[in-house]
A and B are shown apart, each in its own frame.
Chain A
């Protein structure tokens, strides 16, 4: 039976099965791990290889120059570069979570490469101390690193995305520690990295803030490694024991005595269940219970810990050592009679057209759903596609007999496996297990694929898994631009647009920005033309120097903020005259500039108006300035006649008179200056500072009130005040001074051009009934008479006057005025009745 052969490859560690399928035969030719320093990225990532300069190796037919080569997990070379860095030996090399290869050399310089072996500038220096003391050893985790120097000082880069080296507390060591490892920041209380140093018989925990002594007496420890979840520490003691301790050193979880006291070359966790020790030729797997499993190797290997097992890289193959998943055990364990095994068996019988298939199904009827589930799950854990297929077929076969089973579970698994199989192929070489894939997530996987320039696959996967393809297309477009120096702008634009249009809402501006950065300004300009979002488009146009277009686009968008952005940009970059020219050509831009400058850059605005010949606008500005001067008392000091204020106003007047259309303003400015002069004079002669900045009318009024009728007349003639206005003014002024004789005399001077209305109104307003009555009869219009009487509360007289006017409506209104007064209102009622009667007859 096939099932038997499957289980035959398993090894039992106490009660758990382990398997170690080969996932790749390495594609590299004649490769010796021993001669090289190797860095393997987890999650089936790339492998970086460089000749080990700490070993003496024989050179065959090769250059003495060292080469850094990067392979995928199947040993297919992705890229290579010549290593020419100075700074001493390469001390440490590892991949970060972002798949950046970090190489640390003795003098503390950190070089970074991407998967294309392109150096990522800038290089990081670990600082002066490292430079002087020499780095001896490095430990890496996710996105960080610590290193220790010959002077036993520890330095750290907590996050390579933001590489700021810092120094940890001085552990005050005399000798170099026996071993070193770290607890990742995400698992520590402080949120900062903790370094564990094996020193004498104990361990030192070093942090930024201080040093702590832990586990006195457990050691001396020769080798340490922390488990994936940061909770457990596996170590190898000087007397040949494997010791697993909780990382707070409160508890020893288990202990195993090895035959040799020689510390292993490599120590690693296999998932969370067992610890691997590697010496030359022997790989030992130790679990908490039972005898360890021993594997023999006749070539060097490298252990690559993964979340659910360990990949084992040798010169010729890549294996994956993992605990056999429970679902797989339930199916393939020798002699298993669990439902899943019977279902798998049933399919075999079915394929052979044997009736035993039915028998099997009957046996497991009640637990069919769990059997189907187990088959699906087991399929997911398989690397072998034919076995995946068989398991899925078994699931599908069983599913046909189950009514309540989530059918999309099978479909989901097929989808997932398609993705996994695609990336596991030799040319891609990412041997993810299903558990790793789930941990990594599809979007990160897509990110890694596009970083490796596997855009097409990434595109297909994101399409298949329903993720947004924008990331892929965007990256592709940028990569395409970088790689297409030889293609003409127009041709390249066409190629790019063809793909960019696949994705709605993609940011053309971002692609254009990349084109610009790659030195293809013209292409950038062409691309940005396609960007629909002005808020993205305009800043970019500015950065590629397309200022005019930016101004046009900003104006089109109607977003005044964008227009200002462009304006300030040009304003800063260009000489004023050039700026004025550009602004003048765009009405909205011009108006906004003027609005801003009016508030904040007065003088500059004047220059602008002068340059564009808008003299009247300069005049208005000057004229407004003259008012500003009032607020600033310092400026108006000095001789009043030639005061700076009047000068400015006269300057404004001259500018106004330059254009015919502004004759009115010119005249007004002239009069304004004249008025100010007269007011100054008046203040001097009257010794009262009450004239300046009042209106012509007020000046006249003040003169009359002060009894200075000559001065009033002078102002009147000087400003050609009309007869009518003069009467209104003088009457009101006289009433203010309560000079009733003068008022009467004035009324009799001649027939007033305004009629007697001003006299009546002024007296009524002042509440002078007796005076008012003198003038009311002289009013010509009976309506006005009636209203005046009404305002004085004289109902009878009002009614009489109203009846003269024969105005029904007026009567109604008057009645409303007298509404509170019963007697008065009856007068109006009778009158109105009479009127209506007359009107009706």
Chain B
């Protein structure tokens, strides 16, 4: 029993970075753009999130505030990188796969270089501490699993319903879905498809930045070159796994994080379970799931990856 609770209590915070980043990627893809640069934006977010509290926020009464300044910087930089990406793939119609890989290398490279320049070696920060919710956190089993985390975890779990609402209930969500599924139709009824794509990329980028900042500020409480460790790519895979639906994506993020927590717990008990295998799992699952759900693909953004220009026939 304790073992299971431990895994769950560990797995829930693990899932947060994946969850936030994949919901961001979901908005990109719903609008018709896949951003493989997610990993790079996360690296940048992790670095910027770490930088403010590291440089100015050591101790003192204002320390907490600098954590949140770091988060804002990470999100702003993420949104900018999303817009930058949009310039390449929406305005200049660059192939999205290649541009995404470019953005990934750019983000990871710049974050690492700046880190060595401004920080030097491994340094830890106090980060954002856990904030158990009074009373609720005392509930047996559920308390440690759900209510004993840092504030970003709680925020992260408000995101899926919020993303669902935005996507399916607001005019902007309607425009996003139409732009990704049939841009020509959206255009003919007055939707500014490319503007919507830029907006979605900015939102997606901001969320990827936030996911990165979560990793450095809440999970690792430090920055290193490998801090993202492929999570950006897993986030992209999760979007396919969850068929572009916020709640399914959340399920996927939890599933993989629990698998990871399990693997750590097993290792902790001296049983050697290959880490690489756990990392591989999401990809394998995505391939299997996609192979068996072809008709579901038609429910998502059917124009995914295709640039739109009214006057160019495709």
Partners in one complex: no
Q: Using a CB–CB distance below 8 Å, which chain B residues touch chain A?
A: none
Q: Using a CB–CB distance below 8 Å, which chain A residues touch chain B?
A: none
